[in-house]
Chains A and B, each alone.
Chain A
Amino acid sequence: MKKDLTKVRNIGISAHIDSGKTTLTERILFFTQRIHAIHEVRGKDGVGATMDSMDLERERGITIQSAATYCTWKDYDVNIIDTPGHVDFTIEVERALRVLDGAVLILCSVGGVQSQSITVNRQMTRYKVPRIAFVNKCDRTGANPFRVTQQLRDKLDLNAIMLQLPIGLESDLQGMIDLVSMKAIYFEGDQGNEMRQTEIPPELKEEAEAKREELLDAVSMFSDELMEAMLEEGEIPEAMIHDAIRKGTLSLELTPVMIGSAYKNKGIQLLLDAVTSYLPCPTDIENTALDLNQNESEVVVSNDPADPLVALAFKLEDGRYGQLTYIRTYQGVIQKGDTIINSRTGKKAKIGRLVRMHANEMEEIDSAGAGDIVALFGIDCASGDTFCSPGLNWSMSSMHVPAPVISLAINPVDNKAQINMSKALNRFTKEDPTFKTYVDHETNETIISGMGELHLEVYIERMKREYKAEVEVGAPQVAYRETITQRAGFDYTHKKQTGGSGQYGRVAGFIEPLPEGEYEFVDQIVGGVIPREYIPSCDKGFQKSLEKGTLTGAPITGVRVAINDGSFHAVDSSDIAFQVAAIGAFKQGYAKAAPVIMEPIMKVAVEGPSEFQGSVMGSLNQRRGVIIGTFEEGNYTVVEAEMPLAEMFGYSTTLRSLTQGKAEFTMEFATYKQVPKGVADELIKAFATQKKDA
C-alpha cells in the first residue's frame, strides 16, 4: 500500500501558558472523532483533558511532555504533537519542532503575543517551521483579534493576515466570516458540531469586503495567476486563493490568522481545514541527515517509502509495557519484524510492536510509511537517536542541545527511595538530553542539573509521583566553570620511595587557552623520554584534573595541554605514577595560567506596561545585568538584557512586587562569561571555607 504523502500533516501546537493549547487539542480530537467526550483542563469531572496524560500536568493545568496523537480530518491523516508552553522545557519544544512539518501558534485574544510566544516563534523560525496563527479565546472579555494580528506583525515580525472576521466578540461571539468564500459561518448544536453557512450579515458586509481586499493584496504576491485574475476584476476562484495562501505559508513569508474559541467550540473545524489546506505535507519540507560513513556530509532524505528506512526517535516514555519510543520516519517503511540499526550505538534491534498513539490509548499497526509519526515498544535507545535499515549509516542532524546551567543536590530519604530514585534518574536522562545527573564523590550527594529552577522542580515532582522516590532537595547552585586566560609551562616530578616498589614520573610541557572547545591533549614527546604506554596515563591525569578547578571546585573547560618533555624510571614508573605526575603538573601550570571563573549568562526579556520600565531596568541593573535594549509599543515595553543566572534566583517575586504583578519575564541560556573580580573573590573565599569545614 503506497500512502499518499500529500494527505499527511505532522503538526505541532505551540503557545504561551494558558492560551488554551490543551483545550484546543482536546477539541480537535473531539471533532475528528478520536474521543467522544470533552474534558476540561481544569475540569470538575476530575478526568482532565486527554492529552495531559501525566498526573502532574493534570494537577497544575499545564502540559509538560509532548504526547503525540493521531487523528483524521476529511481524508487527511494528522499527527499532532502537543508541546509544552514553559520556557524551561524548551528542549521538548525544540525536539517537537524538529520532527514537525508545520505548526499552529495559539495566541490568547486578550493576552496577545506574550513572552513565551516570542520564544516559541524564534524557535520555529530557527527550524523553518511554516505556521498558522490561531487567535483563541475570542469569547473572553477584552478579546481583540485585530490587535493580536497587529502584534504578530510588530512583535514577531510575521506577515500576519486575517482569513476570518469575527461576528460579534466577547460573550457575543456568534461565528465568523470566511474571507475566502465570503460566507458567514455559525456553529450550532450542543457542541458546535453543526456548521451553518449563510450570507454575510449586511452590517458587516462593508468591513468584510475591505478585509478581503487586504487579504487578496497580501496573498497575490505569491501567485501570478491570482494577480492576473485580480487585474481582470472578474470572479476569483476560491481554489486560487487557497493555493496562494498555501504558497505564502510554505515559504514562511505569510502567516494566516484564524480566530475562534476552543472552549466554546467555535472555529475548530475551520482551523482543521486550514491545517490541511495550508500547512506542508512531509514532501514539501526538505529534511537532511548526516551520512556517518561520508564524514558526516549532509544528505537529503527522500520521503520515498521504497528507499531504506531512516527514522528519528524524538521522544521516550515509560509505559506499562516498557519503554515507548516515538519515532518519525523520513524515508522507507518501518514494519513489524524488521531489523533496524541504531546509528549512534551500531546496535541492531528487532521491531516487536508498532503502535499509533492517541494520548493514553494506542492502536496496533503493522507498518508505517515515510513521513509518519508512530511509536515502538521494547527498543532500547536514547532520545535523538536515528534508526536506519541495515546498510545505511545516517544520523538525522544533531539537535541543538544547550548545556545545563543550574544544579542541585538531592538525597533520598530512605533505602527504598534510593532505589526508586536511581530508576527515575536513569529514565529522565534518557528522555531529556538537557537533564543530567552525577554523584559528587566528595560529598557523596547526587546532583541533578538542568535548564532552570522549574525544569528541576518538575523532575523532582515526577520522582515523587511516578517513582515514589521521596528526596530531600538542596539549594539550587549555578553551574560555574573555570578556565585559563594565558599560556603557562609546567615541569613536575612525582617521586615516592616508601618501601616496596616506588613511584616515579616526570612530566613537562605547557597549558594554554582553547577558546573553541573544552579540552585538547597534544603529545609532543620525542625520543621516548616518556614511554608510549604512559602517554595515555598523562592524558587521563590531565582529564581528572579538569573535573574540579582549584578556585571554586567547578569543572575546567577551554584548555589545551601539551607535553614535550619528561623522564621515567625503568622500575618505579607506572600508569598510576604518570597519572599522579600529570595531576601535579596540571596544578602547577594552572596556578600560573591566570585561571578565572566563568558563569552562565542568560538572555532575559521582561515585558510589561511602560510605566514600570524604569523600575524594571533598575532591577536588572542592580543584578549585574547588561541591558541590551528596549522595545516600545504604545503602553507596553520589552526590556532585553543579559543577566548572570546567579542573580536571577527569586527574580519573579521581585518583578511581581515591582510591577503589581503586571510584568513577566522569560529566560534562556546565552553564553558563559567571566565573573567580575569582586564576585570571583567571594566565590573563592566561600569555596576555601567550605573545604576547611569539610
Chain B
Amino acid sequence: MGYEPLVQQNPLRVLNMSRENNQLGLVMARAGLGKTALLVQIALDAILRGKNVIHVSIGETIDKTKKWYDDILSTILQGHSVTRPHELVDMVAQHRMIMTFKVAAFTRSRLEERLNDLVLQDIFRPNCLIVDGFNFDQTDREALEDLKNLMETMDMQAWFSAICHRGDDRVSPTGVPAPCHEVDDLFDMIILLKPEHDATIQLDIIRNSGELVTDGKGLRLDPTTMMIKEM
C-alpha cells in the first residue's frame, strides 16, 4: 500500500487510542489550535484501517470541510513518498462522507434520520462519526446522553471537538476544562491540546479507554498536520 509513513506519525496509532467501537472521544482546545486538524487525522486513521467515516461539520460548508482533508493529505503527500498518491486520495473520498448542518438544524433525530437514509439503502455504513463544531456551551447533559445512546445503537465510535475559553477556569476533578467539566464522564477518551513555545502543539491525554491517564503521557505535534513532530 505504501501508506506506512502516514501511520507511523499518526498520534492515534502511536498512543493506541481510538480502536474500539461504541466509544466516545473528545478533543478540547482553545480556538485555533488545531482541533479540526486532529479530528481529520482521527478520520484518516480510521479510513486507513478500513473504516467508513462520517464527518459532521456544524456551521461549516462542505467545501471548507473537504478542503481540510485535501490540505492535510497534500501536506502529508509532499513530505512522504507514497507510490500511488491519487489512489490514496480516492480511497479517502470513498470512505468519507461529509454532512454539514446549520447550527440550529443539528439534532439527534435529524442525524439519526440522515444516518438511516444511508444505512438502510446500503449507500454508506459508517463506523466512525466525527462531530466538529458541536456547541457544548448550549447543550445539556441529556442531549449528549441521547447522542451517546444513538452511537451505541448504531454501533459507532464518535469523536467530538469542544472549544475551551480563555478566562473560564472551571475544571472537573479529573482536570477537564469547561464547558465539558460536567459531562466529562460520558467520554471514554479525552485529549487536550496546548500551544508550546517552540510553535508545536502539546497533546495531553486525560483519559484513554475509560481509564484516567495520570502519568502525563503526551506528544508533540506539528501544528499544520497534527502528526507527531520528528524530534
Contact = CB atoms under 8 A, between A and B. Distances in A.
B101 A627 contact: no
Interface in B156-197: none
A157 B101 contact: no
Interface string A633-660: 1100010101000000000000000000
B121 A629 contact: no
B76 interface: no
A629 B62 contact: yes
B99 A613 contact: no
Contacts of A157: 61
21 contacts: A614-B116, A614-B121, A617-B118, A617-B123, A621-B121, A621-B123, A626-B93, A627-B123, A628-B62, A628-B93, A629-B98, A629-B100, A630-B98, A630-B99, A630-B100, A630-B114, A631-B62, A631-B100, A632-B114, A633-B101, A640-B62
Contacts of B94: 626
B98 to A, nearest CB: 3
B65 interface: yes
A158 to B, nearest CB: 12
B98 A628 contact: yes
Given A157-B61, A628-B66, A628-B97, A633 B102 contact: yes
Nearest to B98: A629
Interface residues on B, range: 20 to 34
A618 interface: yes
Contacts of B124: 627
Interface in B38-69: 55, 61-62, 65-66
A629 B66 contact: yes
A573 to B, nearest CB: 41
Interface residues of A, number: 20
Contacts of A617: 117-118, 121, 123
A468 B66 CA distance: 49
Given A617-B118, A629-B65, A632-B110, 18 more contacts: A613-B114, A613-B117, A614-B117, A614-B121, A626-B93, A628-B62, A628-B66, A628-B97, A629-B66, A630-B100, A631-B62, A631-B101, A632-B100, A632-B102, A633-B101, A634-B104, A640-B62, A642-B93
A214 interface: no
A380 interface: no
Contacts of B116: 614
A154 interface: yes
Contact of A629 (B90, B97, B102, B120): B97
B61 A631 contact: yes
Given A614-B121, A628-B62, A628-B66, A633 B105 contact: yes
B32 to A, nearest CB: 19
Interface of B: 55, 61-62, 65-66, 90, 93-94, 97-102, 104-105, 110, 114, 116-118, 120-121, 123-124
Majority DSSP secondary structure for residues of A touching B:
strand
Contacts of B117: 613-614, 617
Interface of A: 154, 157, 613-614, 617-618, 621, 626-634, 638, 640, 642, 673
B114 A618 contact: no
B87 to A, nearest CB: 10
Interface centre among A631, A638, A673 (most CB of B within 10 A): A631
A617 B97 CA distance: 12
A629 B65 CA distance: 9
Contacts of A632: 99-102, 105, 110, 114
A632 B100 CA distance: 6
A299 B116 CA distance: 55
A642 B92 CA distance: 14
A71 to B, nearest CB: 37
Nearest to A621: B123
Nearest to A673: B90
Contacts of B120: 614
B229 to A, nearest CB: 31
A101 to B, nearest CB: 26
A627 B122 CA distance: 13
A670 to B, nearest CB: 12
A221 B110 CA distance: 37
B102 A154 contact: yes
A328 B93 CA distance: 42
Contacts of A614: 116-117, 120-121
A642 B100 CA distance: 17
A618 B62 contact: no
A634 B107 CA distance: 11
Nearest to A157: B61
A157 B102 CA distance: 12
Nearest to A633: B102
A631 B118 CA distance: 15
Contacts of A630: 62, 97-100, 114
Contacts of B105: 632-634
A614 B123 CA distance: 10
